[in-house]
Structure 1
Amino acid sequence: MAGKAGTTRGRSMTVNMDDIARLAEVSKPTVSRVLNGSPLVSEATRERVLQVARAHGYAVNRNAQKLRQARTETIAVMLDFGSHRHGRIADPFVFELLAGVSEALSVRNQDLLLSPPGLSDAQACIDLIAGRAADGFIFLGQGGREPMLRDLSRSATPFVVWGAVNPENSYCAVGSDNRLGGRLAGDLFVTRGARRWLFVGNVEHEEIRLRHEGLRQAGDAADASIDLLLVEHMAYSAVYAGAAAWLTRHPAPDAVFAFSDTAAMAVIAAFRDAGLSAPDDYALVGYNNIPPAADFTPAITTIEQETHLAGAILVEKLMQQIEGSRAKSTMLPTRLIVRDT
């Protein structure tokens, strides 16, 4: 009877690692190894300790645990809020990247801190690392942050960027060959006999500038005319409004290269409302090869970025830096996916 009362009383009270060690009949360092996932503990011992911990409602205080460790085991991921209207991101491509990064971090038992858009300068990022909120940064998109990224590269802050790979940049980047993507789109327009091309995108962003540059290289070789529709925001609604307004002031193009598949969908809708359809009236190429592009009507011809590889590579490059090594930029395979448009 006394034993049962003691057990009940023990379960109702807060237990600590000393209690878990005594109940599991192991040392306190062994309990610590088990709770930290150390491989230096046998499976039988691990299971016994975990069973005791669960039975007594013991939970690891991860924040306190991190304070005792040299690293926080947390990675801050920065989305490019500034490139989207009112900071609202709706492009599936961004969330595909984020999902890949999240999966790669979970494999390494790293926490993901989705950082707020307020970290707008290099010093704020440096302060976040110094305050032990994270061990490093993954930036998903350069957008208009290029000056800040260059400033941050002059510090010892570990970070990696999804975006344009430029040999002149001093930081590590992972991305597709944007200039090649533009040339592939232009070469397709040439084979289809198109002569009046329209590029849709904000060329102040490095990735998009390189796509426009590649398109122009193909256009110059074929003596094609290329107009530019500059859209300030990447949102579907902004592209739709821009494309609809552009058509009221210019002759319709016979080929359109959009900076993303989401933008391509907006162009198709705006042109359809103006009585134009792809591919009958114009050829169209998007970028990213997001899953909806294949199921859209018409199915969108696009430039593929291998995002299924991107998350793992971004995390690997960042961990190399955190562990004291130098990480080199990586260019992913870039290819044209031909569909209905």
Structure 2
Amino acid sequence: MADIARMAGVSISTVSRALAGNPLIPKTLRDQIVELAQTHGYVVNQSARSLRLRKTDTIGVIIPLAHEAGQMISDPFFLEMVGRLADEITRRDYSVLLNKIITTEPGWLERIIQSHRADGLLLIGQSTQHEALNAVANTYRPMVVWGAQLPGQTYCSVGSDNVEGGRLAVAHLAAGGRRRIVFLGAIDAPEAAQRFVGYRKGLEEAGIAFDPALVVPAPYTVDEAQKAVTEFLASGAPFDAIFAFSDVIALAALRALAKAGRRVPADVAVVGFDDIVLAQHSTPPLTTVCQDLASGARAMVDLLFRRMAGQEAPSTLSPVRLVVRESA
């Protein structure tokens, strides 16, 4: 910058303002300085600029996966959610910094915050890190989490009514005459645990006794979930419906049922949760509990920018609805 200032016969601060497009610098002089910079290959050091301004124009998107290290960012739910968040972030002329976290070591979130690589953080899911999120919430404001609302929560979250979603799914299956309804999925993360509560509530309202034998733990990845369904089928346990924690797991169930010669929905009805884009293109198209990911992503980014501006931004919980397709 000092070299450009010497060539233009101006001060370094004038060069800085001109390259930043400051209208206080006459346009003729701005154009001259910009041309000199381009001719001599000068490029603004954005890292140094960020340090000086204490602003990166970047939003960090974090996927915490302490509960399922094998789950990939290429998971259809994450792809859709990351894409929708990126659309909202870039619409505000900010960049996106994506990070997958599988560690459970104390201080992982503090280290990300202290790196100052982003002006704010969006987390997709709480995983098993509720306490870690709570620990930083009072001192670090620009953070919004997609997930369940939990007792004693101090961080800002955006999510859907998971309990009602589970209840709706089971109520629909029971109304169709299904009595042996499997809950498919793990219940170690907050959203999954709430959906399981909704499953139990739906059974109770339908007058169906809860049977622990119909709770089938399934990993979050497609191949492992399909393997879990295949093993359950081999056990010979009678069942006529599946409520899966997510659409991804429900799609894995459809594949396992098809390979086993079970007809959907004639033999087994299947309901998922999320309503990702793939749900309507499966064979058969998947009945699912819809949580509006587009409006959820928009709400997350809106709340984050409000918090970055020092404004109040409380947590939000959105209603869900059942989307009936051919699988149930």
Q: Aligned letter for 2:173?
A: F
Q: Is the 8 A contact 1:179 1:212 kept in 2?
A: yes
Question: How far apart are the structure 2 equivalents of 1:77 and 1:199?
Answer: 30
Question: How far apart are the structure 2 equivalents of 1:120 and 1:159?
Answer: 19
SS at match of 2:273: strand
Matched with 1:7 is: none
Unaligned runs of 5+ in 1: 1-13
Q: TM-score, normalised by structure 2?
A: 0.86
Q: Aligned letter for 2:182?
A: L
Structure 1 residue 60 and structure 2 residue 44: aligned? yes
**Residues 46-88 of structure 1: CA deviation (Å, up to 9, x unaligned):** 8887666555544221111101113233322211333445353
After superposition, residues 47-196 of structure 1 pair within 5 angstroms as 53-54=37-38, 56-84=40-68, 86-117=70-101, 120-121=104-105, 123-156=107-140, 158-166=142-150, 168-196=152-180
Matched with 2:229 is: 243
Question: How far apart are the structure 1 equivalents of 2:171 and 2:8?
Answer: 69
Q: Is the 8 A contact 2:229 2:253 kept in 1?
A: yes
Question: How far apart are the structure 1 equivalents of 2:261 and 2:45?
Answer: 61
Matched with 2:216 is: 229
Structure 1 residue 336 and structure 2 residue 327: aligned? no
Matched with 2:295 is: 309
Choose 84-93 or 327-336, whichever is displaced more.
84-93
Choose 123-132 or 263-272, whichever is displaced more.
123-132
Structure 1 residue 33 and structure 2 residue 17: aligned? no
Deviation (angstroms), 1:252: 3.1
After superposition, residues 279-290 of structure 1 pair within 5 angstroms as 279-290=265-276
Q: Aligned letter for 1:100?
A: R
SS at match of 1:115: strand
Q: Is the 8 A contact 2:67 2:188 kept in 1?
A: no
Question: How far apart are the structure 2 equivalents of 1:327 and 1:259?
Answer: 29
Question: How far apart are the structure 1 equivalents of 2:201 and 2:319?
Answer: 20
Question: How far apart are the structure 1 equivalents of 2:71 and 2:234?
Answer: 29
Runs of 4 or more consecutive aligned structure 1 residues displaced over 4 Å after TM superposition:
14-17, 19-23, 38-56
Q: Alignment RMSD, CA only?
A: 2.9
SS at match of 1:68: helix
Percent of pairs identical after alignment? 30
Matched with 1:218 is: 202
Deviation (angstroms), 1:200: 0.7
In structure 2, the CA distance between the partners of 1:116 and 1:204, relative to structure 1 (3 Å rule), is closer
Structure 1 residue 202 and structure 2 residue 193: aligned? no
Deviation (angstroms), 1:93: 1.1
Unaligned runs of 5+ in 2: none
In structure 2, the CA distance between the partners of 1:333 and 1:57, relative to structure 1 (3 Å rule), is farther
Question: How far apart are the structure 1 equivalents of 2:39 and 2:197?
Answer: 63
SS at match of 1:241: helix
Q: Aligned letter for 1:79?
A: I
Residue-pair matches, total:
322
Q: Is the 8 A contact 1:129 1:135 kept in 2?
A: no
Question: How far apart are the structure 1 equivalents of 2:26 and 2:171?
Answer: 60
Deviation (angstroms), 1:294: 0.7
Q: Is the 8 A contact 1:299 1:339 kept in 2?
A: yes
Deviation (angstroms), 1:284: 1.0
In structure 2, the CA distance between the partners of 1:283 and 1:206, relative to structure 1 (3 Å rule), is same
Choose 43-52 or 98-107, whichever is displaced more.
43-52
Q: Is the 8 A contact 2:17 2:25 kept in 1?
A: yes
Deviation (angstroms), 1:197: 0.6
Choose 57-66 or 239-248, whichever is displaced more.
57-66
**Residues 204-225 of structure 1: CA deviation (Å, up to 9, x unaligned):** 2110111111121111111224
Choose 284-293 or 49-58, whichever is displaced more.
49-58
Q: Is the 8 A contact 1:261 1:290 kept in 2?
A: yes
In structure 2, the CA distance between the partners of 1:42 and 1:103, relative to structure 1 (3 Å rule), is farther
